[in-house]
Amino acid sequence: MRTRGFLALAVVAAVLSLAAAAGAADAEGSAAETVAFVRQGNIWVARVDGTGERRLTDFGVCGGPALSPDGKHAAFHCRGDQDIYPDTGFGQIYLVETAGGEPRRLKFEGVLAAERPAFSPDGKSLVFVGLSEVKKKGKDDEAQIFATMSVSIADIQSGKTRAVLRHKNAMLDAGYIYSHPAFSPTGSGFSGSRAAAMSRVGLR
């Protein structure tokens, strides 16, 4: 995908993050009192009453923010000029404390570019859309980008990763195969969109 598609996804991510956090306002814990959103390509957090705005990033083009269950961390993806796959619209996943601090880039086994992170209910794992095995066919404006896309789950601390769904040779200009994965409330499965349809897979 090109930059315009990435920016459009960032706007959608901001709306979805606000809606999800607002829907959790009746739950217990600080996550229910916080929203994460995108403003002009940066990740921000604020209280649900609109106070306490804080910018968490100042680099790249970022999107897809997700709050940890305890509200202490935000995961998101950012794309910079030095990303491994600059022609795909994919970037890298970062983790940062919502109280502020330096974002930390997360590295996952076998995944070189990723987006759309979401926390597990215990806050120890992330599910995300991963990208690998990128190939460019054709030249100049007629070139097409193909890659292996996956929905993967990774342990945040160790980086140990496993692909749950995997699709090889996906033509990225035709649209993403997977998007917006999320764990079920119990952590025993996850849902997401695949070619505009819902998929649900057990994680036992």
Q: What is the pLDDT of residues 34-54, one digit of tens each?
A: 999 999 999 999 999 999 999
| Arithmetic mean of pLDDT over the chain | 77
pLDDT score of 11 more than 70: no
Tokens of 59: 């680099």
pLDDT confidence tier of residue 81, bands split at 50, 70 and 90 = low
Give me the pLDDT at residue 4, please: 39
Give me the pLDDT at residue 82, please: 61
Taking a C-beta distance cutoff of 8 angstroms, is the pair 114, 128 a contact?
yes
Give me the pLDDT at residue 155, please: 95
Tokens of 89: 């619209």
Q: Checking phi first, is residue 190 left (phi over 0); if not, alpha (psi -120 to 50) or beta?
A: beta
